[in-house]
Amino acid sequence: MIDTRTERSVVVFSNWAVFGLIGLGFITEGFARDDFLVGLVGIASIVLGFVGHIVVNRVFGCGFTQGETALGLALFGAIVLVFVLGWLFRGYSTQDFYLGLSLFALLVIGFVAYLATRFGLRGAFSHFHVRTPNRPGKP
């Protein structure tokens, strides 16, 4: 019998295999053709993958795992690095530049919206804010 963690992992992987690969394909095609609208279709697919992941989490009654969070942040950092290096050494067109900025803006907006809806604004802030114990001589 398959346990629910394994079942959830398979569903999450399948979700990202479909939406992530389609999104990646359209985004790279948008960069290759210098077509903003084709790239936006890819960004929309990535957004649908994120929404699908949230739905899967809701169905299984859990949140993102530490590994998923780490992978998401690492991928975001890698995408930013590749975009900046490509912009510096390849010389993107205006369409490519706006496509990259649109991708980053939607990813950041989606992340903030997820935190705000999941934990509330105060709860989202307290997940990142670490209180340090009062040290002698410091208020």
63-122 confidence digits (pLDDT tens): 888 888 888 889 888 988 988 888 888 878 888 889 989 988 988 888 888 777 776 766
Q: How many domains does the chain have?
A: 1
Q: How far apart are CA 133 and CA 99, in angstroms?
A: 44
Residue 138 resides in a domain: no
133 within some domain: no
- The pLDDT tens digits for 35-65 are 999 999 999 999 999 999 999 999 999 988 8
Q: Which one-letter DSSP state was computed for residue 104?
A: H
DSSP 3-state of 38: helix
For residue 135, tell me if it sits in a domain.
no
Indicate whether 78 belongs to any domain: yes
Residue 8 covered by a domain = yes
pLDDT at res. 69? 83
Given this model, what pLDDT does residue 121 score?
66
Q: Assess if residue 139 is contained within a domain.
A: no
Q: Half-sphere exposure of residue 79, counting CA atoms within 13 Å on the CB side?
A: 19
Q: What is the pLDDT of residue 89?
A: 87
Domain with 59, as residue range(s), is 4-127
Is 110 part of a structural domain of the chain?
yes
Domain membership flag for residue 132 = no
pTM: 0.78
Exposed (0-12), middle (13-18) or buried (19+): which is 76, by Cβ within 10 Å? middle
